[in-house]
């Protein structure tokens, strides 16, 4: 089973308009909403590809109930902690000539509720995959990634971690199966600047992360594609999918989902990277997240 954890799920409310004018009443051209959070994004794409998974995390209030019911309808299994106070976030995404986002705080989470999540993750078994992705709300301990992985370290679990700087560096001792920094984040961890087209430096520092414990390092490079340094020491470079970008939200999460699905399917890192690239491109070319139909079309073009 594949498990994802979303500490701070959200309803992403997308508003389209001609031009946002601050200080005035603005009228939208159209709106849509999506159920978001990095773990939920991964779960959604995995489900669209036909891979069974279960979403863990915290939900609260009427918005939390809407998120849970909404993702259940598309086939995602859930086992959320229902918080006693507050509501899950509604994030505002304004799209006119530019993209403007307002990401809200989300509810407070008590120690009792944190312990409930630990109890659920303790049930993950040998052979399962656990995806930990995204930032940590202020009411959670900053070492919650480490706490979860420490409790599971003696099991044969594939950890997938998509986080930044210290959040990522602090879990390398648990030998995550996959980490996915971008070139900027990779440089930030080592105090250097790494350009998107500097393959030699990207591979060098990806291998440094492997020395620190990571098994596979996937470095995303925006328009320059991505580079994977796998556990066998092989480097794979992949360009981007040949699509027009209409949406940047969730593309990286979609790549993670595609990589997991591709590896589970074939145990081939080259194919996993290819499927991950197709999933990222399918989301970038969609209003929502990647569908299997669009992924299959792009897979033949990459």
Query: d(Cα 291, Cα 87) in Å, to the nearest integer?
Result: 29
Among the listed residues 270, 181, 269, the one whose alpha carbon sits nearest the alpha carbon of residue 217 = 181
What's 32's DSSP letter? E
Clarify whether 253 is annotated catalytic: yes
- With beta carbons less than 8 A apart as the criterion, state whether 57 and 36 touch: no
Exposure letters 135-170 (e unless 16+ CB within 10 A, then b): ebbebbeeebbbebbeebeeeebbbbbbbeeebbbb
Q: What are phi and psi of 201, to 5 degrees?
A: -70, -40
Q: Which long-range contacts (CB under 8 A, 24 or more apart) does 191-196 make?
A: 196/221, 196/222, 196/223, 196/224
**C-alpha dihedral sign at 109, 254, 235, 238:** negative
Provide the strand spans (E) within the chain: 2-6, 10-16, 30-36, 53-59, 77-78, 81-82, 89-95, 99-102, 129-133, 158-162, 178-179, 216-220, 226-229, 235-238
Annotated active-site residue in 96, 198, 253, 296: 253
Q: Which residues are annotated as catalytic? A: 253
């Amino acid at each position: 089973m594949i498990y994802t954890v979303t500490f701070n799920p959200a309803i992403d409310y997308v508003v389209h308009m001609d031009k946002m004018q601050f200080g005035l009443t603005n009228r939208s051209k159209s709106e849509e909403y999506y159920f978001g959070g990095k773990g939920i994004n991964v779960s959604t794409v995995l489900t669209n590809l036909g891979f069974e998974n279960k979403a863990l995390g915290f939900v609260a209030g009427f918005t939390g109930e809407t998120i849970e019911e909404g993702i259940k309808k598309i086939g995602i299994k859930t086992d959320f902690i229902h918080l006693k106070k507050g509501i899950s976030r509604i994030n505002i995404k304004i799209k006119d000539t530019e993209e403007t986002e307002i990401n809200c705080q989300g509810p407070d989470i008590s120690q009792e509720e944190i312990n409930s999540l630990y109890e659920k993750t303790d049930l993950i078994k040998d052979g399962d995959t656990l995806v930990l992705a995204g930032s940590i709300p202020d009411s959670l301990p900053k070492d919650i990634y480490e706490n979860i992985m420490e409790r599971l370290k003696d099991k044969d679990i594939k950890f997938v971690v998509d986080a930044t700087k210290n959040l990522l560096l602090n879990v390398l001792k648990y030998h995550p199966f996959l980490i996915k920094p971008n070139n900027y984040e990779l440089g930030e961890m080592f105090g250097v600047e790494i350009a998107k087209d500097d393959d030699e430096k990207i591979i060098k520092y990806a291998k440094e992360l492997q020395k620190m414990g990571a098994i596979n390092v996937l470095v995303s490079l925006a328009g320059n594609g991505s580079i994977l340094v796998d556990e066998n020491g092989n480097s794979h470079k992949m360009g981007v999918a040949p699509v027009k970008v209409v949406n940047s939200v969730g593309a990286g999460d979609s790549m993670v989902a595609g990589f997991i699905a591709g590896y589970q399917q074939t145990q081939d890192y080259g194919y996993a990277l290819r499927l991950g690239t197709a999933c990222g491109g399918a989301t970038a070319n969609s209003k929502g997240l990647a569908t299997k139909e669009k992924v299959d079309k792009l897979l033949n073009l990459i």
